[in-house]
Amino acid sequence: MSELRPRQRAFQAALDEMGRPGSRRLIPTPALVCELDLLSTNIALMADAAASAGIALRPHVKSHKSAFVARRQLEGGAAGLSCAKLSEAEVIIERLVADGYERRVSVLVTSPLVGSASAMRAAALAESCDLIAVVDHFQGVDELATAFEGTGTPLSVLCDVDVGLGRTGVVGPGPALGVVERIEQSPWLRFAGVQGYGGHLQHIVGRDERQTAARESANRLVDVIDALESNGHGVTLRTGGGTGTSTIEFEIGLLNELQPGSYVFMDREYRDALGDDPEGRFAQSLTISTTVISANQKDFVTVDAGLKAMATDAGSPLVVGHERDAQYHFFGDEHGFVTNGPDGVFSRGDRIDLVPPHCDPTVDRYDFFWIVRGDIVLGVADIAARGCSQ
C-alpha cells in the first residue's frame, strides 16, 4: 500500500481513522473498494487450481494495473506477469522495484509491438525484467531484431496465433511458419513458443457451449503447433486463456501457461456469464462505493456515481445485497439512481455498494483502491499503471 499524492489529501479523514472499526464509512465516494481477504482468496484459488493442473500461471496485469496486486500474485506462486502494453509493463516493473520487490520478474507483453521506437523501448525494458514479446508479422520480428542487436541476452519471442478472436495473431500455419523462421534467423531473438488468446470465448454463457468453442480454438492452435514442430521448431511455451475458460483450459491440457486477469476482482458481466460454473467461483472482491445524496422521490434514491464512475460497455452495475430487489440506472455523468421500492430501504446518507459491470476499464478510471477488511480501512493501493495503454 502506498502514500497519497498531494491532490488526494481530501481523503485524509478516512486515513486518519485507518485500522479503526467504522473507518470504511469515511471513504469519500464514489470510490473503488477492494476486500483484502476476498482478493487473497481469489489469488490463492487460481494459483492452487493451476498448480494442481500442472500449468504455470501468468496473471494479466491489465485487470488491476497495480503493483500491490501483482506482488501478491507473484508471491502467491505466479511464474510471471502478463501486461497488455509496454507502458503497463514499464510502470509495474518500476513500481515493484521501488516497493522493494527483489526478484527479477518474467513479463509477457501480450500485444504485438509496432515500430522501431516501441522495439527500442522493449530493449530498455528487458534490462530490468525477463521480457517476452509476441509478434504476428515478419516486420515486427525485424524491428525487434534490430533493437536487440548487440544486447547480452536474446529476446524471447512468441508467435501470436489467431485462435478465432481475429484481433491479433497470424492466421493459420503458413504465416506462423514464416514468422517463426524469421525469428530463428536472428541471433538477437529466441523463439520461445506460441500465444493463443481466445477473448471471444470468455463470456460464452453455458459451460458446455464455452467448452465446445474452446476446443475449436485449441484445434486451431494445435494445427499451428504441429506445423511448427514438424518443421523443426520446438514450441516450448503455449500461453493463453482467461478467467472464463480457466478450468476448461486445464481440462483441454494444450496450454502450459494461463494468463487470466479478471478473477482477482470479478464483475457483473462475468457473474452473468459464468453463474455457478467452476470458472465463476471467484468472489466479488471489488466494489464501487457510493453515497445516497438525495432521497426525496417516492420510488428511487440518487447516488453520487454516474457515467464517470465506471465503464459502461457492459451495462449497469448490481446493487450489493439487493441484487434482486433494487436496480441501478445511470443518471448522467455524476449520478445514478437506485430503485427504492414502496418500503424504501435506502435513505439520505446511506452507502450503497455496486458490483462493477466490467472490472478492467472501471479500474482504469481511478487513482487507487481502498483496501478494506469489513468496515475497516487498511490502506490505499495505487493503480500505478492507470492510463498506461501505450
Ligand X SMILES: Cc1ncc(COP(=O)(O)O)c(C=O)c1O
**CB closer to ligand X out of 76 and 379:** 76
Task: Assess 173 for contact with ligand X (CB under 6 A).
Answer: no
Beta carbons of 327 and 318 less than 8 angstroms apart: no
End-to-end CA distance of the chain: 25
Of 197, 265, 282, 368, the residue at the interface with ligand X (CB under 6 A) is 197
Using CA atoms, how far apart are residues 136 and 129, in angstroms rounded to an integer? 22
CB of 293 to ligand X, least distance (A): 32
Beta carbons of 273 and 244 less than 8 angstroms apart: yes
Of 23, 53, 60, 311, the residue at the interface with ligand X (CB under 6 A) is 60
Residue 248 burial (C-beta neighbours within 10 Å; 0-12, 13-18, 19+): buried
Angle in degrees, CA 176, 181, 185, rounded to 5: 150
Residue 187 burial (C-beta neighbours within 10 Å; 0-12, 13-18, 19+): exposed
**CB closer to ligand X out of 335 and 358:** 358
Binding mask 232-271 for ligand X (x = CB under 6 A): ----------xxx--------------xxxx---------
**CB closer to ligand X out of 113 and 303:** 113
Residue 336 burial (C-beta neighbours within 10 Å; 0-12, 13-18, 19+): buried
Using CA atoms, how far apart are residues 309 and 372, in angstroms rounded to an integer? 19
**CB closer to ligand X out of 62 and 121:** 62
Task: Assess 193 for contact with ligand X (CB under 6 A).
Answer: no
CB of 195 to ligand X, least distance (A): 7
**CB closer to ligand X out of 202 and 285:** 202
Task: Assess 357 for contact with ligand X (CB under 6 A).
Answer: no
Using CA atoms, how far apart are residues 144 and 139, in angstroms rounded to an integer? 9
Only one of the segments 90-98, 124-132, 196-204, 218-226 lies at the binding site for ligand X (rule: CB under 6 A); that segment is 196-204
Measured on CA atoms in the order 277, 279, 283, 289, is the torsion positive or negative? negative
Task: Assess 63 for contact with ligand X (CB under 6 A).
Answer: yes
Residues 69-88 that bind ligand X (CB under 6 A): 82
Task: Assess 110 for contact with ligand X (CB under 6 A).
Answer: yes
Residues 362-381 that bind ligand X (CB under 6 A): none
Under DSSP, the state recorded for 4 is P
Task: Assess 140 for contact with ligand X (CB under 6 A).
Answer: no
Task: List contacts with ligand X (CB under 6 A).
Answer: 60, 62-63, 82, 110, 197, 199, 202, 242-244, 259-262
